Structure 1
Protein backbone atom coordinates (compact mmCIF):
# COMPACT_ATOMS: atom_id res chain seq x y z
CA UNK A 1 0.00 0.00 0.00
CA UNK A 2 1.21 3.49 -0.85
CA UNK A 3 2.64 5.17 2.25
CA UNK A 4 3.26 8.82 3.11
CA UNK A 5 6.00 9.96 5.45
CA UNK A 6 6.54 13.43 6.86
CA UNK A 7 9.95 14.42 8.17
CA UNK A 8 12.06 17.43 9.02
CA UNK A 9 15.73 18.26 8.77
CA UNK A 10 17.91 21.25 9.58
CA UNK A 11 18.17 24.17 7.16
CA UNK A 12 21.81 23.51 6.27
CA UNK A 13 21.33 19.76 5.77
CA UNK A 14 19.52 20.26 2.46
CA UNK A 15 21.62 21.76 -0.39
CA UNK A 16 19.41 24.75 -1.12
CA UNK A 17 19.33 25.63 2.56
CA UNK A 18 22.60 27.54 2.36
CA UNK A 19 20.65 30.50 0.97
CA UNK A 20 19.22 31.15 4.43
CA UNK A 21 22.63 32.33 5.61
CA UNK A 22 22.35 35.34 3.31
CA UNK A 23 18.57 35.68 3.09
CA UNK A 24 17.00 34.49 6.37
CA UNK A 25 13.52 35.72 5.39
CA UNK A 26 13.36 33.60 2.23
CA UNK A 27 11.01 30.62 1.87
CA UNK A 28 11.80 27.84 -0.60
CA UNK A 29 9.17 25.39 -1.85
CA UNK A 30 10.12 22.46 -4.06
CA UNK A 31 8.00 22.21 -7.19
CA UNK A 32 8.99 18.79 -8.47
CA UNK A 33 11.87 16.37 -8.83
CA UNK A 34 13.10 15.13 -12.18
CA UNK A 35 15.66 12.30 -12.26
CA UNK A 36 18.04 13.11 -15.10
CA UNK A 37 20.63 10.41 -15.71
CA UNK A 38 22.77 10.56 -12.56
CA UNK A 39 21.74 14.09 -11.58
CA UNK A 40 18.79 15.16 -9.51
CA UNK A 41 17.36 18.44 -10.80
CA UNK A 42 14.96 20.15 -8.41
CA UNK A 43 12.61 22.90 -9.47
CA UNK A 44 11.72 25.22 -6.63
CA UNK A 45 9.92 28.47 -5.84
CA UNK A 46 11.63 31.23 -3.90
CA UNK A 47 9.66 33.86 -2.01
CA UNK A 48 10.77 36.86 0.02
CA UNK A 49 13.73 38.22 -1.97
CA UNK A 50 14.57 40.11 -5.13
CA UNK A 51 15.72 38.09 -8.14
CA UNK A 52 19.25 39.47 -8.07
CA UNK A 53 19.62 38.62 -4.40
CA UNK A 54 18.39 35.09 -5.02
CA UNK A 55 20.90 34.42 -7.76
CA UNK A 56 23.78 35.90 -5.76
CA UNK A 57 22.83 33.93 -2.66
CA UNK A 58 23.03 30.62 -4.50
CA UNK A 59 26.27 31.29 -6.35
CA UNK A 60 28.61 30.01 -3.65
CA UNK A 61 26.83 26.79 -2.70
CA UNK A 62 29.25 23.86 -2.62
CA UNK A 63 28.42 21.20 -5.18
CA UNK A 64 25.98 23.26 -7.24
CA UNK A 65 26.62 23.20 -10.97
CA UNK A 66 24.04 25.75 -11.99
CA UNK A 67 21.13 27.83 -10.67
CA UNK A 68 18.74 29.13 -13.31
CA UNK A 69 15.72 31.42 -13.13
CA UNK A 70 12.86 29.77 -15.07
CA UNK A 71 9.89 32.04 -14.42
CA UNK A 72 8.51 34.65 -12.03
CA UNK A 73 4.90 35.20 -10.93
CA UNK A 74 3.81 37.89 -8.48
CA UNK A 75 7.21 38.24 -6.80
CA UNK A 76 7.68 34.48 -6.59
CA UNK A 77 10.52 33.00 -8.61
CA UNK A 78 10.72 29.55 -10.14
CA UNK A 79 14.31 28.31 -10.11
CA UNK A 80 16.11 25.19 -11.24
CA UNK A 81 19.24 23.75 -9.67
CA UNK A 82 21.70 21.12 -10.80
CA UNK A 83 24.55 19.87 -8.68
CA UNK A 84 27.59 17.69 -9.02
CA UNK A 85 27.15 14.03 -9.80
CA UNK A 86 29.05 12.79 -6.76
CA UNK A 87 26.97 14.82 -4.33
CA UNK A 88 24.71 12.58 -2.22
CA UNK A 89 21.99 14.10 -0.06
CA UNK A 90 18.29 13.86 0.71
CA UNK A 91 17.20 14.24 -2.92
CA UNK A 92 19.64 11.56 -4.02
CA UNK A 93 18.32 9.20 -1.35
CA UNK A 94 14.75 9.90 -2.44
CA UNK A 95 15.54 9.31 -6.11
CA UNK A 96 17.44 6.10 -5.37
CA UNK A 97 14.50 4.78 -3.33
CA UNK A 98 11.96 5.88 -5.98
CA UNK A 99 10.19 8.14 -3.49
CA UNK A 100 8.01 10.99 -4.75
CA UNK A 101 8.17 14.38 -3.07
CA UNK A 102 4.66 15.65 -2.35
CA UNK A 103 5.94 18.81 -0.73
CA UNK A 104 9.18 20.27 0.54
CA UNK A 105 9.30 23.66 2.24
CA UNK A 106 12.42 25.26 3.64
CA UNK A 107 12.91 28.21 5.94
CA UNK A 108 15.75 29.38 8.11
CA UNK A 109 14.41 27.21 10.96
CA UNK A 110 14.61 24.04 8.85
CA UNK A 111 12.99 21.91 6.15
CA UNK A 112 9.71 20.00 6.24
CA UNK A 113 9.04 17.26 3.69
CA UNK A 114 6.06 15.09 2.82
CA UNK A 115 7.01 12.15 0.60
CA UNK A 116 5.22 9.13 -0.85
CA UNK A 117 6.46 5.62 -1.45
CA UNK A 118 4.53 2.93 -3.28
CA UNK A 119 5.05 0.70 -0.25
CA UNK A 120 6.39 0.78 3.29
CA UNK A 121 9.43 -1.05 1.96
CA UNK A 122 10.29 1.93 -0.25
CA UNK A 123 10.00 4.26 2.74
CA UNK A 124 12.21 1.90 4.74
CA UNK A 125 14.79 1.89 1.95
CA UNK A 126 14.90 5.70 2.01
CA UNK A 127 15.43 5.71 5.77
CA UNK A 128 18.27 3.22 5.36
CA UNK A 129 19.89 5.37 2.67
CA UNK A 130 19.77 8.36 5.02
CA UNK A 131 21.29 6.34 7.85
CA UNK A 132 24.03 4.88 5.65
CA UNK A 133 25.04 8.35 4.43
CA UNK A 134 24.62 10.03 7.84
CA UNK A 135 21.80 12.28 6.66
CA UNK A 136 19.88 13.29 9.81
CA UNK A 137 16.10 13.37 9.46
CA UNK A 138 13.37 13.47 12.10
CA UNK A 139 10.26 11.51 11.15
CA UNK A 140 7.09 13.23 12.32
CA UNK A 141 4.41 11.02 10.74
CA UNK A 142 3.93 7.85 8.67
CA UNK A 143 0.53 6.86 7.35
CA UNK A 144 -1.15 5.06 4.46
CA UNK A 145 -3.00 6.88 1.70
CA UNK A 146 -6.75 6.65 2.09
CA UNK A 147 -9.36 6.84 -0.68
CA UNK A 148 -12.04 9.52 -0.44
CA UNK A 149 -15.44 8.21 -1.62
CA UNK A 150 -14.14 6.43 -4.66
CA UNK A 151 -11.07 5.03 -6.26
CA UNK A 152 -8.37 7.43 -7.34
CA UNK A 153 -9.29 10.23 -4.92
CA UNK A 154 -6.35 9.47 -2.65
CA UNK A 155 -5.55 11.90 0.16
CA UNK A 156 -3.41 11.56 3.23
CA UNK A 157 -5.27 11.30 6.51
CA UNK A 158 -4.14 14.79 7.54
CA UNK A 159 -5.28 16.31 4.22
CA UNK A 160 -8.65 14.57 4.45
CA UNK A 161 -9.13 15.73 8.05
CA UNK A 162 -8.26 19.35 7.20
CA UNK A 163 -10.51 19.50 4.13
CA UNK A 164 -13.43 17.84 5.90
CA UNK A 165 -13.22 20.12 8.94
CA UNK A 166 -12.90 23.23 6.78
CA UNK A 167 -16.03 22.16 4.89
CA UNK A 168 -17.97 21.35 8.06
CA UNK A 169 -17.09 24.69 9.66
CA UNK A 170 -18.18 26.67 6.60
CA UNK A 171 -14.76 27.81 5.42
CA UNK A 172 -15.77 27.27 1.78
CA UNK A 173 -19.09 29.10 2.14
CA UNK A 174 -19.58 32.63 0.84
CA UNK A 175 -19.26 34.53 3.03
CA UNK A 176 -16.94 32.31 5.08
CA UNK A 177 -18.21 31.23 8.47
CA UNK A 178 -14.80 30.58 9.97
CA UNK A 179 -11.13 31.40 9.45
CA UNK A 180 -7.96 29.42 8.86
CA UNK A 181 -6.75 30.43 12.31
CA UNK A 182 -9.86 28.99 13.98
CA UNK A 183 -9.61 25.70 12.08
CA UNK A 184 -5.89 25.46 12.80
CA UNK A 185 -6.53 25.96 16.51
CA UNK A 186 -9.10 23.17 16.45
CA UNK A 187 -6.63 20.82 14.76
CA UNK A 188 -3.79 21.88 17.05
CA UNK A 189 -1.50 22.97 14.21
CA UNK A 190 -0.22 26.28 12.90
CA UNK A 191 -2.19 28.31 10.37
CA UNK A 192 0.70 27.89 7.94
CA UNK A 193 0.60 24.10 8.29
CA UNK A 194 -3.16 24.07 7.72
CA UNK A 195 -2.84 26.23 4.60
CA UNK A 196 -0.21 23.84 3.24
CA UNK A 197 -2.40 20.78 3.91
CA UNK A 198 -5.40 22.35 2.21
CA UNK A 199 -3.34 23.34 -0.81
CA UNK A 200 -1.90 19.84 -1.24
CA UNK A 201 -5.38 18.38 -0.79
CA UNK A 202 -6.81 20.67 -3.49
CA UNK A 203 -4.00 19.65 -5.83
CA UNK A 204 -4.56 15.94 -5.21
CA UNK A 205 -8.33 16.13 -5.71
CA UNK A 206 -8.03 18.22 -8.89
CA UNK A 207 -5.36 15.92 -10.27
CA UNK A 208 -7.53 12.83 -9.71
CA UNK A 209 -10.89 14.27 -10.75
CA UNK A 210 -10.48 17.03 -13.33
CA UNK A 211 -7.17 16.22 -14.99
CA UNK A 212 -7.15 13.21 -17.27
CA UNK A 213 -4.25 10.77 -16.99
Structure 2
Protein backbone atom coordinates (compact mmCIF):
# COMPACT_ATOMS: atom_id res chain seq x y z
CA UNK A 1 0.00 0.00 0.00
CA UNK A 2 1.37 3.40 -0.99
CA UNK A 3 1.51 6.47 1.22
CA UNK A 4 -1.45 8.09 -0.55
CA UNK A 5 -3.57 4.95 -0.35
CA UNK A 6 -2.79 4.51 3.34
CA UNK A 7 -3.69 8.10 4.20
CA UNK A 8 -6.88 8.07 2.13
CA UNK A 9 -8.12 4.81 3.67
CA UNK A 10 -7.23 6.03 7.15
CA UNK A 11 -8.99 9.37 6.69
CA UNK A 12 -12.13 7.75 5.30
CA UNK A 13 -12.24 5.17 8.10
CA UNK A 14 -11.70 7.71 10.87
CA UNK A 15 -14.47 9.94 9.55
CA UNK A 16 -16.86 6.99 9.31
CA UNK A 17 -16.17 6.23 12.98
CA UNK A 18 -16.74 9.89 13.94
CA UNK A 19 -13.25 10.33 15.34
CA UNK A 20 -12.41 13.92 16.29
CA UNK A 21 -9.44 15.89 14.89
CA UNK A 22 -9.04 13.64 11.83
CA UNK A 23 -7.00 16.23 9.90
CA UNK A 24 -4.41 16.41 12.69
CA UNK A 25 -4.11 12.61 12.81
CA UNK A 26 -3.64 12.40 9.04
CA UNK A 27 -1.03 15.14 9.14
CA UNK A 28 0.90 13.25 11.83
CA UNK A 29 0.98 10.12 9.65
CA UNK A 30 1.95 12.18 6.61
CA UNK A 31 4.91 13.64 8.49
CA UNK A 32 5.90 10.16 9.69
CA UNK A 33 5.84 8.82 6.13
CA UNK A 34 8.00 11.72 4.92
CA UNK A 35 10.54 11.19 7.70
CA UNK A 36 10.82 7.48 6.94
CA UNK A 37 11.12 8.14 3.20
CA UNK A 38 14.10 10.43 3.81
CA UNK A 39 15.75 7.48 5.55
CA UNK A 40 15.48 5.48 2.34
CA UNK A 41 12.52 3.26 3.22
CA UNK A 42 9.83 2.33 0.70
CA UNK A 43 6.22 3.50 1.08
CA UNK A 44 4.90 -0.08 1.13
CA UNK A 45 7.30 -1.06 3.92
CA UNK A 46 6.39 2.01 5.98
CA UNK A 47 2.67 1.28 5.64
CA UNK A 48 3.26 -2.34 6.59
CA UNK A 49 5.27 -1.37 9.68
CA UNK A 50 2.40 0.81 10.93
CA UNK A 51 0.15 -2.22 11.26
CA UNK A 52 -3.40 -3.06 10.28
CA UNK A 53 -5.48 -0.03 9.29
CA UNK A 54 -8.62 -1.37 10.96
CA UNK A 55 -6.79 -1.76 14.27
CA UNK A 56 -5.44 1.79 14.02
CA UNK A 57 -8.91 3.18 13.31
CA UNK A 58 -10.46 1.16 16.15
CA UNK A 59 -7.85 2.48 18.59
CA UNK A 60 -8.57 6.10 17.65
CA UNK A 61 -12.30 5.45 17.81
CA UNK A 62 -12.10 4.03 21.34
CA UNK A 63 -9.88 6.89 22.48
CA UNK A 64 -12.26 9.46 21.02
CA UNK A 65 -15.27 7.85 22.71
CA UNK A 66 -13.38 7.74 25.99
CA UNK A 67 -12.52 11.44 25.72
CA UNK A 68 -16.13 12.38 25.02
CA UNK A 69 -17.31 10.22 27.90
CA UNK A 70 -14.73 11.83 30.19
CA UNK A 71 -15.99 15.31 29.39
CA UNK A 72 -19.60 14.20 29.76
CA UNK A 73 -18.83 12.68 33.16
CA UNK A 74 -16.96 15.81 34.21
CA UNK A 75 -19.88 18.06 33.27
CA UNK A 76 -22.37 15.71 34.93
CA UNK A 77 -20.42 15.45 38.19
CA UNK A 78 -19.84 19.22 38.19
CA UNK A 79 -23.57 19.82 37.77
CA UNK A 80 -24.16 17.87 40.98
CA UNK A 81 -20.96 18.48 42.92
CA UNK A 82 -20.62 22.26 42.74
CA UNK A 83 -24.09 23.07 44.21
CA UNK A 84 -23.58 20.33 46.81
CA UNK A 85 -20.21 21.74 47.87
CA UNK A 86 -21.53 25.32 47.98
CA UNK A 87 -24.48 24.22 50.12
CA UNK A 88 -22.26 22.26 52.49
CA UNK A 89 -19.81 25.15 52.89
CA UNK A 90 -22.83 27.24 53.85
CA UNK A 91 -23.70 24.63 56.49
CA UNK A 92 -20.09 24.75 57.72
CA UNK A 93 -20.29 28.53 58.10
CA UNK A 94 -23.54 28.09 60.05
CA UNK A 95 -21.86 25.60 62.41
CA UNK A 96 -18.94 27.97 62.97
CA UNK A 97 -21.25 30.94 63.54
CA UNK A 98 -23.29 28.90 66.03
CA UNK A 99 -20.15 28.06 67.99
CA UNK A 100 -19.22 31.76 68.16
CA UNK A 101 -22.78 32.66 69.18
CA UNK A 102 -22.70 30.16 72.06
CA UNK A 103 -19.30 31.48 73.17
CA UNK A 104 -20.66 35.02 73.01
CA UNK A 105 -23.73 34.10 75.06
CA UNK A 106 -21.60 32.41 77.72
CA UNK A 107 -19.30 35.44 77.99
CA UNK A 108 -22.30 37.79 78.11
CA UNK A 109 -23.82 36.02 81.13
CA UNK A 110 -20.48 35.21 82.75
CA UNK A 111 -19.53 38.87 83.05
CA UNK A 112 -23.04 39.98 83.98
CA UNK A 113 -23.55 42.19 80.95
CA UNK A 114 -27.02 43.63 80.42
CA UNK A 115 -26.54 45.93 77.45
CA UNK A 116 -28.49 43.78 74.98
CA UNK A 117 -32.24 44.09 75.32
CA UNK A 118 -32.99 40.89 73.38
CA UNK A 119 -30.95 38.71 75.79
CA UNK A 120 -33.26 37.27 78.50
CA UNK A 121 -32.62 37.96 82.16
CA UNK A 122 -31.73 34.87 84.24
CA UNK A 123 -31.47 34.66 88.06
CA UNK A 124 -28.04 33.86 89.51
CA UNK A 125 -28.37 30.13 90.29
CA UNK A 126 -29.84 28.96 86.96
CA UNK A 127 -27.55 31.44 85.19
CA UNK A 128 -24.55 29.31 86.20
CA UNK A 129 -26.22 26.28 84.65
CA UNK A 130 -27.02 28.19 81.47
CA UNK A 131 -23.42 29.41 81.19
CA UNK A 132 -22.15 25.83 81.43
CA UNK A 133 -24.68 24.72 78.80
CA UNK A 134 -23.58 27.51 76.45
CA UNK A 135 -19.88 26.68 76.94
CA UNK A 136 -20.38 22.96 76.29
CA UNK A 137 -22.61 23.74 73.29
CA UNK A 138 -19.90 26.04 71.92
CA UNK A 139 -17.34 23.23 72.22
CA UNK A 140 -19.74 20.78 70.59
CA UNK A 141 -20.41 23.10 67.63
CA UNK A 142 -16.68 23.77 67.30
CA UNK A 143 -15.87 20.05 67.15
CA UNK A 144 -18.77 19.54 64.74
CA UNK A 145 -17.35 22.29 62.52
CA UNK A 146 -13.91 20.64 62.54
CA UNK A 147 -15.45 17.25 61.76
CA UNK A 148 -17.57 18.67 58.93
CA UNK A 149 -14.61 20.65 57.57
CA UNK A 150 -12.59 17.42 57.29
CA UNK A 151 -15.36 15.82 55.25
CA UNK A 152 -15.74 18.86 53.00
CA UNK A 153 -11.98 19.16 52.49
CA UNK A 154 -11.81 15.53 51.35
CA UNK A 155 -14.85 15.93 49.08
CA UNK A 156 -13.42 19.12 47.53
CA UNK A 157 -10.04 17.48 46.92
CA UNK A 158 -11.72 14.49 45.27
CA UNK A 159 -13.65 16.78 42.95
CA UNK A 160 -10.66 18.96 41.99
CA UNK A 161 -8.19 16.09 41.53
CA UNK A 162 -10.30 13.09 40.49
CA UNK A 163 -13.50 14.78 39.25
CA UNK A 164 -15.37 12.50 41.63
CA UNK A 165 -17.14 13.02 44.91
CA UNK A 166 -17.97 10.66 47.74
CA UNK A 167 -19.75 11.06 51.04
CA UNK A 168 -18.73 8.68 53.77
CA UNK A 169 -16.53 8.23 56.81
CA UNK A 170 -13.34 10.24 56.91
CA UNK A 171 -10.50 9.92 59.43
CA UNK A 172 -10.54 12.40 62.30
CA UNK A 173 -7.97 13.13 64.97
CA UNK A 174 -8.73 11.25 68.16
CA UNK A 175 -8.79 14.50 70.16
CA UNK A 176 -11.57 16.00 68.02
CA UNK A 177 -13.56 12.76 68.15
CA UNK A 178 -13.46 12.83 71.95
CA UNK A 179 -14.41 16.51 72.11
CA UNK A 180 -17.33 15.86 69.74
CA UNK A 181 -18.57 12.88 71.74
CA UNK A 182 -18.18 14.20 75.28
CA UNK A 183 -19.21 17.79 74.61
CA UNK A 184 -22.40 16.51 72.97
CA UNK A 185 -23.25 14.34 75.95
CA UNK A 186 -22.28 17.12 78.36
CA UNK A 187 -24.47 19.64 76.54
CA UNK A 188 -27.52 17.38 76.77
CA UNK A 189 -26.87 16.57 80.44
CA UNK A 190 -26.27 20.19 81.45
CA UNK A 191 -29.32 21.35 79.49
CA UNK A 192 -31.51 18.94 81.48
CA UNK A 193 -29.94 20.03 84.78
CA UNK A 194 -30.23 23.70 83.80
CA UNK A 195 -33.90 23.27 82.95
CA UNK A 196 -34.74 21.73 86.31
CA UNK A 197 -32.71 24.38 88.15
CA UNK A 198 -34.70 27.06 86.36
CA UNK A 199 -37.96 25.25 87.19
CA UNK A 200 -37.02 25.03 90.88
CA UNK A 201 -36.05 28.70 91.12
CA UNK A 202 -39.05 29.96 89.14
CA UNK A 203 -41.42 27.40 90.72
CA UNK A 204 -42.97 26.88 87.31
CA UNK A 205 -42.27 24.44 84.49
CA UNK A 206 -42.67 27.32 82.05
CA UNK A 207 -40.07 29.47 83.77
CA UNK A 208 -39.64 31.72 80.73
CA UNK A 209 -43.10 33.15 81.40
CA UNK A 210 -42.23 33.85 85.04
CA UNK A 211 -39.09 35.74 84.00
CA UNK A 212 -40.96 37.49 81.18
CA UNK A 213 -38.53 36.48 78.45
CA UNK A 214 -40.97 37.03 75.59
CA UNK A 215 -42.97 39.91 76.96
TM-score of the two chains, using structure 1 as the length reference: 0.19
Which structure dedicates a bigger proportion of its chain to helix? 2
Larger Rg: 2
Which structure dedicates a bigger proportion of its chain to strand? 1
